[in-house]
Structures are given as C-alpha cells and as structure tokens.
C-alpha cells in the first residue's frame, strides 16, 4: 500500500473533502455514510474494483456466521417453518432479508427449505433488500438456482420500495444494523459533545462540537431514565439510523416476525463503565483498527448494537418483543446438538460448527432480537433456552 492509498480510495477521499469544503465539518455519521455508502466510491458500493468476496469472507476484510458454517441458516429455516405454521401457512409466505452481503445465508436457507416435502417451498417468496450493486451482484451469482424465471427470489433497493402492511412472513437481518452509520459522542466538561470531521493538509481531523440533532439528546435522555450516565472522557456511539430502520420494518410488516441478528448488548452493558472507549471498529484484511481516517472506503466500519433502544423503537412502532437471546441458545433451541452428533468430533466441519457456538466468541457476542406483529406472542423453538433473566431489554429502570 502506498502513501496515496493509505488515507483511502483517492476518488472517495476527494468527494468527502469536497463536501467538507462546501458545507464545513461533517458529523462522524455523515463521514461513515460516505465512507461505506457513497454511491460510486463507498466501501460497499464500488463495483469496478471487485465483488462481495473482496469484502466479506476468508479472502476479504471480515467474515460472518455464514462464511463459517450453514448451521445458522439451517436453524433459521427450521424456525421459519414453525412461524409459517403459527401464521396458518399463508400463500405467499415471504421472507425479507435485509443487507444480505454475499447472499450465503439466503442460499443455505433456500437449500434447507427446498427439502421440505409439504407446500412450504412452493409458497415461499424470498426478497433481498440490498442497496449495494456490488453486493447484489454477489447475491445474484450465489442465488442463481432460485432467481430468474421462478420469481422465488427477487430484489429491492430499499425498504421504502415495499408497500406499507404488504408483508406476511419474516423480516430477517444478520450484521446489518452494526453497519449503519453512527454518531460518535464524547463527554467533555460534563457535557455530551459530538465528533465532527474536517479535512486539512490532506488529512481528516476530528473536532468536538455541540450535538448535531435533538434526536441525540433525546436518546441520551432515554438512557438517563435507565440510570445510565457517562463519566468525563467517555466515548461512545449512537445509532439513530437503527431506530429509523426499525420503524420502516414495522411499517412494511402486516403479520409475522422480525429477527435481527447482530453483535450487541443491552443498553446497560453497551453504555456501561467497561466500554468507555465505545465499540467502534474498522476491519481490513481480517485485522481490526480504531482508525477510521486511513483506508477510507477500503475498510469496513462497525459499532455494536444497542438492543434495548432498538427494542423500544420497535415497541413504539407496533413490534413487541417476543424474545432476546444469543446465537448459542438460539441454535441449541433449534437442534444444533443433534447436528453435532452427526459429525465426526475434531473434523473440520465439527470445528466450524462449534465456532458458531463458542461462549467466548460468536455464540454469546451475537444476539437475536425477535419481535412480532399481528399474531399472539409466539413460543418459538429458538427462544426455548433463556440466557437472560426477566425483561432484560426493558427501557424502564
Ligand atoms: C456487514 S454486511 C452483512 C452481511 C451478511 N448479512 C452476512 O451475514 O454475511 C452489511 C450488508 O448490509 C448492506 N446494507 C447496509 N445498509 C443497508 C440498507 N440501508 N439497506 C439495505 N442494505 C444495506 C450492505 O451493502 C451489506 O450487504
């Protein structure tokens, strides 16, 4: 890597610098939005320089559960069959997957669903909501057997392309919400200030300014009701896009279940004293860094999800919580032990599957928020094992 690309993709850096020159320093959230989703040069959006494989997977910058083993997709397929039963076998039964990356979860889900001997597969419609042309190209390649003439798999650019109350089925995402642009805040002299990004001397620079929107103060106010307070110098992230997205999900769903999988925590854990530097991280070539101002547009950026605030936004929009669990408990509820029994202990496949379950890794870091609408609170198999006590997500203290 040479000095010119060290700061990032040259055209993207120029586009961000231009915007700053025109409008003045931008919020970190706007910087992250441009770095990841600038229509031509953003990390996820560029097509000229490669495919989804360059970003996600063993030869890319980071990997997800679907790169490790198909067990999560297979468990989701089993869970969705139970939801189909609870909804009375609607026709069509629609699964909307948002931010599907390379489409591996969809591929393994469809392969598992296809084995059903009843009418499920013939009623199933799988819709991928993806706004990145590069990612959509990878999805189309991986889902070729089901796309095309059958109409089984289709694509939308955005949830805003879906009519209100148009969907009966399941709305699903894995590692989508952590990829939304976040505001970054720092407590200075007892007050929350926001990180803005400037560009001078061919470098990006941070400065602290008053909060850019009252929505941030409202967010902190709701955290304060949980007795969450921040000490001097505390640095953290607020994902306002996640709340807006939750409202969109609620708008589209008529009847069914929302399953949101991501790394994250309750608000009390995410904003607790142990995380006083926040959870913001960049990923490049399977390495992490805390520096978003190099490799701009060439590295992924993420922040852990505040599941309490996400659940509260859903509740307000008509999506009550059915359950909150972690990946290990979800997989156990859906029969992962029986899957392990069929594999040779110590084999490569056994090890991969165990990686999804590891309590000190993917098994517990990944959480599932499950919400429902237009149906009674469901007793789902994936929620049989309870890793948390009581209503851990409740937004009242
Ligand atoms: C970290 S990747 C998730 C990968 C995938 N779900 C997996 O498990 O491998 C994030 C994905 O979300 C997409 N994305 C981000 N924001 C989006 C939005 N607002 N609408 C649709 N897709 C979005 C990105 O283009 C990318 O495909």
Ligand 1 centroid, distance to 369 Cα (angstroms): 17
Residue nearest (by alpha carbon) to ligand 1 atom 1: 175
Average pLDDT, the chain: 93
Q: Ligand 1: does its nearest atom lie under 6 Å from the Cβ of 366?
A: no
- Among residues 3, 22, 8, which one has the least CA distance to residue 204? 8
Residue 359 lies in a domain: yes
At 235, is the secondary structure helix, strand, or coil?
Answer: strand
Domain membership of residue 199 as a residue range: 3-45+182-236
Is residue 262 domain-shared with residue 361, that is, in the same domain?
Answer: yes
Tell me the C-alpha distance between 365 and 367, whole Å: 6
Given a cut of 60, is residue 59 above it in pLDDT?
A: yes
Is residue 89 domain-shared with residue 147, that is, in the same domain?
Answer: yes
Residue 256 lies in a domain: yes
Q: Ligand 1: does its nearest atom lie under 6 Å from the Cβ of 265?
A: no
Place of tokens 């990612």: 135
Is residue 210 domain-shared with residue 163, that is, in the same domain?
Answer: no
**What pTM, to 2 d.p., does this model score?**
0.95
Is residue 24 domain-shared with residue 132, that is, in the same domain?
Answer: no
Tell me the C-alpha distance between 44 and 299, whole Å: 9
Is residue 369 domain-shared with residue 245, that is, in the same domain?
Answer: yes
What pLDDT was estimated at residue 75? 95
- Contacts of 60 by beta carbon, 8 Å cutoff, 6+ apart: 52, 53, 54
Q: How many CA atoms lie within 13 A of 195 on its CB side?
A: 25
Q: How confident is the model at residue 272 (pLDDT cuts 50, 70, 90)?
A: very high
| CATH number of the structural domain spanning residue 368 | 3.40.50.12710
Q: Ligand 1: does its nearest atom lie under 6 Å from the Cβ of 105?
A: yes
Which run of H or E residues covers position 199? strand 191-200
What pLDDT was estimated at residue 148? 77
What does the longest C-alpha to C-alpha distance in the chain come to? 65
Is residue 167 domain-shared with residue 59, that is, in the same domain?
Answer: yes
Helices of type H across the chain = 3-6, 10-23, 28-37, 65-68, 71-86, 104-114, 120-123, 133-142, 214-225, 240-252, 267-270, 307-316, 327-333, 336-341, 348-357, 362-365
Average pLDDT estimate for 69-76: 93
CB 307 within 8 A of CB 266: yes
Ligand 1 centroid, distance to 187 Cα (angstroms): 31
- 133: Cα separation from own chain's centroid: 18
Residue 385 lies in a domain: no
Domain count, the chain: 2
Is residue 337 domain-shared with residue 205, that is, in the same domain?
Answer: no
- Contacts of 292 by beta carbon, 8 Å cutoff, 6+ apart: 28, 31, 32, 35, 280, 282, 301
User: Mean pLDDT lowest for which of 53-62, 275-284, 322-331?
Assistant: 53-62
Helix axes 71-86, 348-357, angle to 10 degrees: 60
Ligand 1 centroid, distance to 164 Cα (angstroms): 22
Residue nearest (by alpha carbon) to ligand 1 atom 24: 99
Please return the burial class of 210, using the count of CB atoms within 10 Å of its CB with bins 0-12, 13-18 and 19+.
exposed
Tell me the C-alpha distance between 350 and 210, whole Å: 51
The pLDDT tens digits of the residues spanning 137-154 come to 999 999 998 887 677 999
Is residue 175 domain-shared with residue 193, that is, in the same domain?
Answer: no
What pLDDT was estimated at residue 397? 46
Helices (H) and strands (E) in the chain, counts: 16, 16
Ligand 1 centroid, distance to 97 Cα (angstroms): 9
Ligand 1 centroid, distance to 345 Cα (angstroms): 34
Is residue 34 domain-shared with residue 57, that is, in the same domain?
Answer: no
For the chain, give the number of residues. 397
Is residue 186 domain-shared with residue 129, that is, in the same domain?
Answer: no
The pLDDT tens digits of the residues spanning 286-304 come to 999 999 999 999 999 999 9
Residue 183, token pair as written in the block: 């505001």
Residue 390 lies in a domain: no
Residue 354 lies in a domain: yes
Mutate to test the pocket of ligand 1, among 42, 47, 179 (most ligand atoms within 8 A of CB): 179
């Amino acid at each position: 890597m040479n000095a010119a690309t060290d700061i990032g993709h040259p055209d993207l850096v120029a586009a961000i610098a231009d915007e700053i020159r025109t409008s003045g320093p931008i919020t970190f959230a706007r910087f992250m939005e441009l770095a990841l989703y600038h229509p031509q040069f953003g990390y996820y959006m560029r097509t000229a320089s490669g495919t989804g494989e360059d970003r996600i997977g063993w030869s890319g910058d980071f990997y997800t559960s679907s790169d490790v083993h198909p067990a999560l997709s297979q468990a989701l397929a089993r869970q969705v069959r139970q939801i189909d039963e609870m909804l009375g076998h609607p026709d069509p039964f629609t699964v909307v997957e948002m931010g599907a990356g390379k489409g591996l979860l969809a591929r393994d889900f469809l392969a598992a669903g296809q084995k059903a001997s009843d009418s499920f597969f013939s009623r199933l419609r799988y819709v991928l909501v993806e706004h990145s042309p590069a990612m959509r190209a990878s999805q189309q390649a991986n889902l070729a057997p089901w796309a095309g003439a059958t109409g089984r798999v289709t694509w939308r650019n955005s949830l805003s392309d879906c009519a209100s109350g148009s969907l009966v089925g399941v709305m699903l995402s894995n590692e989508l919400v952590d990829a939304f642009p976040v505001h970054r805040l720092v407590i200075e002299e007892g007050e929350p200030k926001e990180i803005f990004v400037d560009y001078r001397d061919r470098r990006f620079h941070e400065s602290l300014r008053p909060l850019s929107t009252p929505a941030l103060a409202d967010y902190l106010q709701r955290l304060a009701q949980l007795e969450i307070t921040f000490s001097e110098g505390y640095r953290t992230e607020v994902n306002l896009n996640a709340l807006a997205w939750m409202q969109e999900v609620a708008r589209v769903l008529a009847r069914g279940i929302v399953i949101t999988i991501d790394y994250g925590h309750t608000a009390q854990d995410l904003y607790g004293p142990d995380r006083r530097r926040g959870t913001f991280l960049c990923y490049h070539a399977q390495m992490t860094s805390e520096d978003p101002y190099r490799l701009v547009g060439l590295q992924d950026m993420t922040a852990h999800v505040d599941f309490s605030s996400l659940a509260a936004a859903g509740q307000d929009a008509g999506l009550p919580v059915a359950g909150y669990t972690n990946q290990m408990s979800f997989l156990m509820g859906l029969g992962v032990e029986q899957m392990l029994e069929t594999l040779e202990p110590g084999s490569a496949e056994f090890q991969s599957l165990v990686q999804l379950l590891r309590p000190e890794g993917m098994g517990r870091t990944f959480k599932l928020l499950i919400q429902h609408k237009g149906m009674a609170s469901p007793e789902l198999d994936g929620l049989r094992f309870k890793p948390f006590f009581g209503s851990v997500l409740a937004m009242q203290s």
